[in-house]
Amino acid sequence: MNMTKERPNYKLEICANSVVSCLAAQEGGAYRVELCAGIPEGGTTPSHGEIALARELLKIRLNVIIRPRGGDFLYSDLEHRVMLRDIETARALGVDGIVIGCLTPEGEVDMARNRELIEAAGEMSVTFHRAFDMCRDPLDSLERIIELGCDRILTSGQEPKAEQGVPLLKKLVEQAEERIIIMPGSGINYRNIAAIARESGAEEFHLSAREPVESGMTYRNPRVKMGGTAIVINEYEQMITQARLVKNASEALEQLIRG
């Protein structure tokens, strides 16, 4: 009997906040990007122009988050209609997959609303995003998401960072039994990705691989802040994915395979 363990099929998904970050992810060897706007809010739907140009320039797979605002995942009827329209746009632009997640007030997976979004997606793949980390019962929610027919779940294991959520990630991978992909995300980088892969058993990973890039502005008005006082970001730098950090993460996984 052949007892040789099958080689893991590791894949990197890069959370890209711009077309520039998408191209860096591609250069670094990513399998797929998830294009998002509003990163400080946890990711919101990017613009038509951003999606269109990313699709035009990328040879790798492109997923787009469908999330009309930051905050919780309890959406109004109008917000639901917005998401359906955004899915129409994504399909028309040739996007490979969408990233969604709707919850009930009780912290359960909203089967009706998610099912409508999935039906609107047609042949596109569907990832259930970190709304999962806000579910009351993760193991039951896993079964509900499998029932919906989603392709994967992006999760930190219901902890702030995936590194802390490894015990639950491992349980989810085991319970999923290859019925759905469990994709760890949040705080993953080339330094910790191999350990998370080894301990959780996951094979797809979600990371940003970003670094700050200083603004070219030489004149800066210190009295005015575009984001207001509640948004704590440096408005004179951009966080941009770096190809070398993507490559470093990929190499860490390759080294894990080689032992």
Note whether 189 and 245 are within 8 A (CB): yes
Task: In whole angstroms, give the CA distance from residue 33 to residue 223.
Answer: 37
Full domain range(s) for residue 253: 11-258
Q: Is residue 5 part of a domain?
A: no
Dihedral angle of Cα 67, 46, 239, 32, to the nearest 10 degrees: 90
Quote the pLDDT of residue 228: 66
Tally of domains within the chain: 1
Quote the pLDDT of residue 2: 43
Q: Is residue 2 part of a domain?
A: no
Quote the pLDDT of residue 229: 67
Pair of tokens at residue 246: 């993507």
Q: Is residue 235 part of a domain?
A: yes
Walk along the chain (259 residues) and give the pLDDT tens digit of each residue.
Answer: 344 457 889 999 999 999 999 999 999 999 999 999 999 899 999 999 999 999 999 999 999 999 999 999 999 999 999 999 999 999 999 999 999 999 999 999 999 999 999 999 999 999 999 999 999 999 999 999 999 999 999 999 999 999 999 999 999 999 999 999 999 999 999 999 999 999 999 999 999 999 999 999 999 998 888 876 666 788 899 999 999 999 999 999 999 998 7
Q: Is residue 6 part of a domain?
A: no
Q: How far is CA 141 from CA 108, 137, 157, 212, 228, in A?
A: 7, 6, 12, 36, 37
CATH number of 199's domain: 3.20.20.380
Quote the pLDDT of residue 224: 85
Quote the pLDDT of residue 1: 39
Residue 129's closest CA among 162, 156, 91?
A: 156
Q: How far is CA 139 from CA 55, 175, 195, 202, in A?
A: 35, 8, 23, 16
Q: Is residue 229 part of a domain?
A: yes
Q: Is residue 155 part of a domain?
A: yes
Task: In whole angstroms, give the CA distance from residue 229 to residue 140.
Answer: 40
Q: How far is CA 70 from CA 79, 131, 231, in A?
A: 12, 11, 12
Q: Is residue 30 part of a domain?
A: yes
Quote the pLDDT of residue 3: 44
* pTM score, whole prediction: 0.94
Q: Is residue 193 part of a domain?
A: yes
